[in-house]
Amino acid sequence: MVEKLVGKITYFFDMSGTAMIKLTDTLMIGDEIHVVGSSSNFKQKLEILQKNDGNISIAKAGEDIAIKVSQPVQEGDSVYKIRDLL
């Protein structure tokens, strides 16, 4: 497996378990991500992507999106997309 940086956490909503990400690459529903930071290190599959309070299935570089995270994150944490080697 290989990991590619796809964005950084810009904000975390503790009550809802939702994180805002500034994307540098494409993400889509079903992608597996790895969140890494000073106190974060976990993997999860993306089940919800949101933009402007609406659900989307794909998000592109430069967009600010929201995802539901399984653990707390912090501003500045890195988000990597996990891909299988071909």
Contact call for residues 83 and 1 (beta carbons, < 8 A)? yes
User: pTM for the whole thing?
Assistant: 0.92
* Of 64, 66, 79, residue with least CA distance to 8: 79
pLDDT bracket for residue 52 (50, 70, 90):
confident
Instruction: Classify strands 49-51 and 2-13 as parallel, antiparallel or unpaired.
Output: unpaired
Note the pLDDT tens digit of each residue in 9-35.
Answer: 999 999 999 999 999 999 999 999 999
Read off the tokens for 24: 């540098």
Cα–Cα distances in Å, from 63 out to 8, 21, 58, 76, 77? 11, 8, 10, 16, 17
Domains located in the chain, CATH noted: 2-83 (2.40.30.10)
